[in-house]
Amino acid sequence: MLEELVQLHRAGRLDEAERGYRQLLAEHPDDAEVLHLLGILRAQRGDLPEGLRLVTRAGELAPDNATCQHTLGELYLSERKLDEAAQAYEQARVLNPNLSAAHAGLGQIALLRGEVDAAESHFKVALRADENDVQALTGLGNVAMARGESQRALQLLTQAAELAPDDPLIQTSYAQAMLDEGMLDFAARALDNALAVKPDYPLAQVLRGDLHVRKGEFAQALPIFESLLARDEQVAAARTGLGDIARAQGRHDEAVAQFDEALRAQPGLHVAAIRRADSLARSGRVAQAVDDLRWHIASHPDSVKAHIGLAQLLTQSDRYDEAVAVWQAAEARWPDDVNVKAQHALTLDRAGRADEALAQAELAAASPRPAIAMLRARGALLAGDPAAAVQRLQRIDEQQLEGKPPLLARRRQRLLGLAFDGLEQWPDAIAAFMQAQRMTPGALPELASLDEAARETLRQLAGDPVLAEARGSAPLFLCGLPGSGVGQVAALLADQPDWFVRRERFEAVPDFINAAFDPRLAQPLDQATLAVLARRYRRPLDRAQVADATRVVDWIPVLDARVVPAIKRALPGARLLIVKRDPQDMLLDWLAFGWSQGFAMPDPLSGARWMRLAATHLDEAARMLPTFRADPDALLATGGSAARRQLGEFLGLDDVVWGPLARGARKGRGGLPNRFPAGHAAHYREFLTDAFTALDG
């Protein structure tokens, strides 16, 4: 009978197998073999505490059973109890020196601890004992990934999948591991193998459904989950899958209901609790999501995934101090888990606690996460070691960034550019900066050339009568070319008491200033038309509850001079503040640091030509509106009181306040510079000759 139950177990018919195991135990409660098998089954169903209890009891009854000790190690490893897992694997190895799986388990522990060399050694020992050890080959593939050796990783992982194509349990376990790593193609291949042998294998079917959900193929996933429910197999996992579909489609109430059903079927199913919290948060119930996930952790304190889910939820809600506290608790419970250390470092970085983040990143140095390598590279740059930064950044394999947010790859290239700049390798710096520019999606706004006739027409239009009944104080328009440092000046103005800086120009509904140029504005405008333009301009300020008396700074990223006559007439008293630096410095800073509005430089020469055209629009605007030109290098310098006094006179202020926003704007992410010092472009003159020449016309 036991052999029949084992076959049911291997076929994924877990309900039938469990009933049979429990029936045998009712007759023979101290049967170590049955206790061992039932413990494995309970762990497969997500009930790790009971699985551990059963396998521990089996080990006590059969202390010489190496396989039982190995299973105990596997379960401890699932709970991230690395010391206990290592002890069990060592005991299994003592009992059976030829048990390659024990070495593979020790390799997994070493990998989790960030001890890549030790992990590789254990996996190689396992392979010498059994050249077909799938776990050892998979482990070596993970070692290769941690080292950025993507081709070798691909070779090893493919070999592992091909070794046991006819074993559905091994293939399904392999597929689960690949899904956990986000390697969907490998997972699909393993599931194809498992289902080719056993088409009705429930474990493989539920993972196939999960794979479809991750790819957004909901129509293919839905019948799989419904079929499992109809057969009363893998109920909790199927309910979780249905919840995932509803969550992905924005039906969050339905998703929460499905996750609740999953947790009723299997209270310890951590993934259902985590995704339930995510659905609650996405539907605006963040407080409930946090509270419910905290309750789940209190009931299941040994779930590292639940701790990670809670910390990530708090981070997404900008509750950084609470998130850091969760990471600290997780580190105390799982001190050797490199992933926990890495995510802790990244949360500290998002919280703006740069020094702590860098220190934590060094503790997570063995993490394969590209973001950790970038954080450590940033630390090397701040420490004045650009060579170390280059080394850390070049270890990141391009394939590790596939499927990640584009910002991550763009940040890597900019860091590389800064590191090459620090090494005075100017051509390499330009190449890295341009690669980052190519990863920026925004195309440059189109601007018309202004001949002398067009300029004369604009000046005539600007001289027509202004709006007779204007409302509110006249705005100050803040403009600056990319690389000018205009964002830093915006921060300085935002520090002034009772001033409002409008920054959302490319997010809000456009008005006549930031919309595509309307040719009707080139015609004489009557008072009624001017009043309409003024109302449209004022509408977003009213929504933001900006009082009429409040001084408004309107940050215009790109000013088309053709709208300035309408501005002057519809908003009487409007003035212009232009932020300007040396053109070559501006072009270099745009190339290196990007543009805050997200517009990409096609290439240095095209960028220079566009900058020159945009500068002519600003110059023409300055002929029509009262204008002050500010040099941020002088304005924001420690000894820049004279420049700030001149600006204050233009603004009508007795004193320009030097506040926290202006101080914070002087540095970029994590303390790195967000612009080069004045004159730095001279280093690039030989390599950007055509672009610099174009700036001068």
Interval 299-325: pLDDT, tens: 888 778 889 999 999 999 999 999 999
Quick one: pLDDT band at residue 110, thresholds 50, 70, 90? Answer: confident
pLDDT, mean over the chain:
88
Q: Give the pLDDT confidence score for residue 147 in this predicted structure.
A: 62
Contact 513, 537 (CB under 8 A): yes
Token pair of 391, please?
A: 């080394």
Give the DSSP letter of residue 75: H
Token pair of 8, please?
A: 């049911």
| Phi and psi torsions of 499, nearest 5° | -105, 145
Task: Please name the helix (run of DSSP H) or strand (run of DSSP E) that holds residue 645, with its range, or none.
Answer: helix 641-651
Question: CA-CA-CA-CA torsion for 501, 504, 506, 512, nearest 10 degrees?
Answer: -60
Instruction: Count Cβ neighbours within 10 Å for each residue of 367-381 and write b for 16 or more, e otherwise.
Output: bbbbbbbbbbbbbbb
Can you tell me the distance from the alpha carbon of 666 to that of 551, in angstroms, rounded to the nearest whole number?
24
Q: Does residue 670 register a pLDDT over 80?
A: no
Q: Determine the number of helices (DSSP H) and then strands (DSSP E) in the chain.
A: 36, 5
Instruction: Count Cβ neighbours within 10 Å for each residue of 458-477 and write b for 16 or more, e otherwise.
Output: beebbeeeebeebebeebbb
Burial of 75 (0-12, 13-18, 19+ CB in 10 A): buried
Closest CA to 467 of 538, 541, 536, 566: 566
Poorest-pLDDT segment among 61-75, 113-127, 249-263, 583-597: 113-127
Q: Does residue 617 register a pLDDT over 90?
A: yes
Contact 159, 167 (CB under 8 A): no
Cβ contacts of residue 581 below 8 Å, gap of 6+?
483, 484, 485, 589, 631, 632, 633, 678
Task: Please name the helix (run of DSSP H) or strand (run of DSSP E) that holds residue 20, with its range, or none.
Answer: helix 14-27
Contact 235, 271 (CB under 8 A): no
Q: Give the pLDDT confidence score for residue 303 in this predicted structure.
A: 79
Closest CA to 405 of 358, 441, 354, 352: 441
Closest CA to 161 of 149, 174, 143: 174
Closest CA to 694 of 632, 602, 631, 630: 602
Quick one: pLDDT band at residue 654, thresholds 50, 70, 90? Answer: confident
| C-alpha to C-alpha distances, 359 to 135, 311, 376, 581, nearest whole angstrom | 33, 19, 9, 36
3-state secondary structure at position 404: coil
Quick one: pLDDT band at residue 266, thresholds 50, 70, 90? Answer: confident
Q: Does residue 148 register a pLDDT over 60?
A: no
| C-alpha to C-alpha distances, 26 to 20, 29, 30, 322, 575, nearest whole angstrom | 10, 6, 9, 47, 88
Closest CA to 103 of 158, 140, 53: 140
Per residue, what are the HEC states of 300-348? CCCCHHHHHHHHHHHHHCCCHHHHHHHHHHHHHHCCCCHHHHHHHHHHH
Can you tell me the distance from the alpha carbon of 400 to that of 148, in angstroms, rounded to the nearest whole number?
8
Q: Does residue 248 register a pLDDT over 70?
A: yes
Token pair of 684, please?
A: 């690039």
Q: How many angstroms separate the first and last alpha carbons of the chain?
A: 90
Token pair of 194, please?
A: 């498992």
Bridge partners, residue 442, by sequence: 599
Bridge partners, residue 577, by sequence: 478, 628
Per DSSP bridges, beta strands 627-630 and 499-502 are: unpaired
Proportion of the chain above pLDDT 70, given as a percent: 96
| Phi and psi torsions of 231, nearest 5° | -90, 0
Place of tokens 């030790």: 118
Contact 340, 372 (CB under 8 A): no
Quick one: pLDDT band at residue 162, thresholds 50, 70, 90? Answer: confident
| C-alpha to C-alpha distances, 16 to 7, 22, 23, nearest whole angstrom | 11, 10, 11
H-helix segments, 544-603: 564-570, 583-593
Average pLDDT of the segment spanning 509-526: 87
3-state secondary structure at position 154: helix
Q: Give the pLDDT confidence score for residue 149 in this predicted structure.
A: 62
Average pLDDT of the segment spanning 327-342: 88
Q: Does residue 150 register a pLDDT over 60?
A: no
Q: Does residue 508 register a pLDDT over 70?
A: no
Bridge partners, residue 576, by sequence: 477, 627
Average pLDDT of the segment spanning 389-407: 81
Q: Give the pLDDT confidence score for residue 169 in this predicted structure.
A: 62
Angle between helices 100-112 and 116-129 (to 10 degrees): 170
Per DSSP bridges, beta strands 551-555 and 627-630 are: unpaired
Contact 289, 295 (CB under 8 A): no
Cβ contacts of residue 269 below 8 Å, gap of 6+?
46, 236, 237, 240, 262, 263
Bridge partners, residue 480, by sequence: 579
Q: Give the pLDDT confidence score for residue 422 in this predicted structure.
A: 96
Q: Does residue 510 register a pLDDT over 70?
A: yes
Contact 375, 358 (CB under 8 A): yes
Contact 163, 143 (CB under 8 A): no
Poorest-pLDDT segment among 297-306, 488-497, 520-529, 623-632: 297-306
Q: Give the pLDDT confidence score for residue 151 in this predicted structure.
A: 59
Domains defined along the chain, listed by start: 1-97 (1.25.40.10), 112-161 (1.25.40.10), 369-438 (1.25.40), 452-695 (3.40.50.300)
Q: Does residue 252 register a pLDDT over 90?
A: yes
At residue 70's C-alpha, the angle toward residues 67 and 75, to 5°, is 130
Can you tell me the distance from the alpha carbon of 498 to that of 489, in angstroms, rounded to the nearest whole number?
16
* pLDDT tens digits along 618-630: 999 999 999 999 9
Can you tell me the distance from the alpha carbon of 171 to that of 165, in angstroms, rounded to the nearest whole number?
7
Amino acid at 525: L
Can you tell me the distance from the alpha carbon of 26 to that of 31, in angstroms, rounded to the nearest whole number?
10
